[in-house]
A and B are shown apart, each in its own frame.
Chain A
Amino acid sequence: METTIVTSQYPALELKNVEKRFENVIALQGLSFSVEPGAFVAIVGPSGCGKSTLLRLIAGLEATSDGEIWLDNEDVTEASAGERGLAMVFQSYALYPHKTVRENMAFSLKIAKRPKAEIESRVAEAARALQLEAYLDRLPKQLSGGQRQRVAIGRAIVRKPKVFLFDEPLSNLDAALRAETRVELAELHQRLAATMIYVTHDQVEAMTLADQIIILNAGQIQQMGSPKELYNEPKNAFVAGFIGSPKMNFVSGTINEGVFQSTDLSIPGLGQTASGAITLGVRPEALMLADSDKGIGQIEVSIVEYLGDESVIHGRLADGTPIILREKGGVELNTGDRVFIDIENVDALHFFSPDSGERIVRSPKTPNKG
């Protein structure tokens, strides 16, 4: 079988109603989505949501209980991991400890019985791209964490796989290196124009790297969309709370005649006809400190995190609901201070059903989008 690197009109990867059960526990349920060739898709969710299991199903390391997995218009549901032509970068890197960097990268090609010259040139090419040329004859234990991580990526690149799979590849790196490697990964994706599926619990990684994000919770897809869509139009309260840092604030209250009312907050001018119990969602960056007496309500400051360019203010409403807001620069506030808060724009508010958590579209917006 020849490896082809032409862009196909078929999705690089498609899942059709995939389900995974372990004994009686349903780990993943009714998963259907497709990934366009060249896309960078991040799968995010809290621990235990099934995201690693999903990646292992795609990789062929676990068998599906139900449904189909297609790669480039080919049903691979029953194919073994080796037959799928994918590459995976493990959280632990999973480098062969007794093999040198060169042998690690060449291993899959050797198994595939590629000609020696081709193996050498592919390894050399990957090593050059990842600045590993000086380390080709070292063993993994002689490398730093960041270098090992690059070898793991190199091992994937060498194979010219249909799809790259990443399982939390940055979680073993320290913060500085993580940020650096994140940028390198983004560059790599652009340069290779390859399809990448990336599992992480870190929504910042997902937001910065991915074209499309799949939010997974309790084995089900909560929402799939671009980072912008997820941020601006979260389908439900879970997605809204998961995307964005610090987390979105949620306040339970009621809406009536275009006025949101909770024990401590009152927001008029929402122009909505729906009425009844509702959950208000507002991101920390959409809130601001207000001059005394104005604004939508008052909080008691519990702690202020000063970050240099901005400050994150943690406080509580009188009924105990936690509120976080971000302010530019430093603020002169102390624990116990009571301050008024306001919103910058009513368009930045989100509303969710208090029962289902589903998003409630606020009002028919003026049709002047994009």
Chain B
Amino acid sequence: MLSYSKDQRKFVLLMLLPAFGMTAAFFLWPTIYNIKNSFTDLSLLGLREGGKWVGLDNYIALFNDSDFKKVVFNTLFWLTFVSVSIRLVLGFAIALFIESQLVRRLRLTVPLRMAALLPWATPDIVAVTVWKQIFDGRTGVINNKLLEWGFIDQPIVFLGDPSYVWPAVITIIVWNGLPIIVLTMAAALQTVPRDLYEAADIDGAKSWTKFWHVTFPHALPALAVLGLLTTIWTFNNFIYVWMSTSAGPGTFSNVLATEVYLQAFVNFKLGLSSAIGTFMAALAMVFGVIYFRYVVTKRFGGLM
């Protein structure tokens, strides 16, 4: 065991101080400031005089607001649950295909892995901008093709029509967020020992049985970690919704991250916006706790 002398310990603390100072200045202080603001009626126009203490009024207002309930639903269901589920299932399926015997026999495994990387190399903002053009009601390639092939008579404003806006936004998120799932799952699949499949062959297992009893248990820990991480990353994402729909049409696709922005910089209600931010942080912490429970404490039995 290593043991440190008093001097060494002092030195270690001294070296940790700058990092701690930065963290405190840029994360801890804003957090405290934000929580404090959430109990005031601070306005963007009245920053100098500051806000008046209003207690829990902001929070009570939020929970009594049916529009806010819709924002929470949009965030948890559409933005997070649906998009994460699709990414996990589709990503795993693509990874299974890339690592399959067929693709290996055709010697396409490596080229396909490379191809899967491509969307990842595209910055979110660029991806959303390009997708907006693809989805465009007048000039978009999808509408042009659908009209050309006679599937529709009138162009569809994908990002402006309540029936299409979520599927369209989720398409963008899935496209951009798929690579990390595909590549991580492909890596996880490569760690499955080949002789387990052979043992299963001898035991008389068919493909489906082999998948459930050999492949899936090996892939599960990676899938669980990816699920939790993408959930946290997506839940507080501002770019996808704001860049593609600006929370519209109207506030139809409004989510928590865009609501924070709207309340603060459109409605100038910094106090209310801070309360939403604090609420988001509390929700994110729930995921965080689960994440630490299962991943950091290695619930997955050293298979990681």
Contacts and interface: CB of A to CB of B under 8 A. Distances in A.
Interface stretch (A84-92, A303-311, A358-366): A84-92
Contacts of A94: 193, 195-196, 198-199
Interface string B259-297: 000000000000000000000000000000000000000
Contacts of B203: 82, 107-108, 111, 155
Interface in A71-124: 80-83, 86-88, 90, 92, 94-99, 107-108, 111-112
12 contacts: A81-B198, A90-B195, A90-B198, A92-B195, A94-B193, A94-B196, A94-B198, A99-B213, A107-B200, A107-B203, A108-B203, A141-B302
Contacts of A139: 301
B201 interface: yes
The 6 A-B pairs at the shortest CB distance, nearest first, are namely A82-B204, A108-B203, A98-B217, A94-B199, A81-B201, A94-B195
A43 to B, nearest CB: 18
B192 to A, nearest CB: 10
B147 interface: no
Contacts of A98: 213, 217-218
B301 A96 contact: no
Contacts of B202: 59-61, 81-82, 86-88, 108
Interface string A223-253: 0000000000000000000000000000000
Interface in B91-141: none
Nearest to B196: A94
B303 A80 contact: no
Given A94-B193, A94-B198, A141-B302, A108 B204 contact: yes
A61 B201 contact: yes
A96 B213 contact: yes
B213 A107 contact: yes
Nearest to A139: B301
Contacts of A88: 198-199, 202
Interface string B195-232: 11011111111100100011001100000000000000
A95 B200 CA distance: 10
Give chain A's interface residue range (CB within 8 Å of chain B).
20 to 34
A156 B209 CA distance: 19
Contact of B301 (A90, A92, A99, A141): A141
A97 B196 CA distance: 9
Interface in A108-160: 108, 111-112, 139, 141, 155
Q: Which of B193, B201, B204, B213 has the most CB of A within 10 A?
A: B204
B214 to A, nearest CB: 7
A108 B201 CA distance: 10
A107 B214 CA distance: 12
A194 to B, nearest CB: 16
Given A111-B209, A141-B302, A96 B201 contact: no
Contacts of B209: 111
Interface in A268-313: none
Contact of A97 (B198, B204, B205, B303): B303
A170 B195 CA distance: 16
Contact of B201 (A80, A95, A97, A99): A80
A112 B195 contact: no
- Among B193, B195, B205, chain A packs the most CB atoms within 10 A around the CB of B195
- Residue of B199, B205, B301, B302 ringed by the most chain A CB atoms within 10 A: B199
Contacts of A87: 202
Contacts of A155: 203
A232 B209 CA distance: 50
A364 to B, nearest CB: 50
B196 A96 contact: yes
Given A90-B195, A98-B217, 7 more contacts: A60-B201, A81-B202, A86-B202, A94-B198, A96-B214, A99-B213, A111-B209
B223 to A, nearest CB: 14
B199 to A, nearest CB: 4
B201 A90 contact: no
A92 B201 contact: no
B147 to A, nearest CB: 52
Nearest to B217: A98
Contacts of B198: 59, 61, 81, 88, 90, 94
A92 B214 contact: no
Greatest chain A CB density within 10 A among B203, B213, B302 is at B203
A82 B193 contact: no
Contacts of B195: 90, 92, 94
B78 to A, nearest CB: 34
Given A97-B303, A141-B302, A82 B199 contact: no
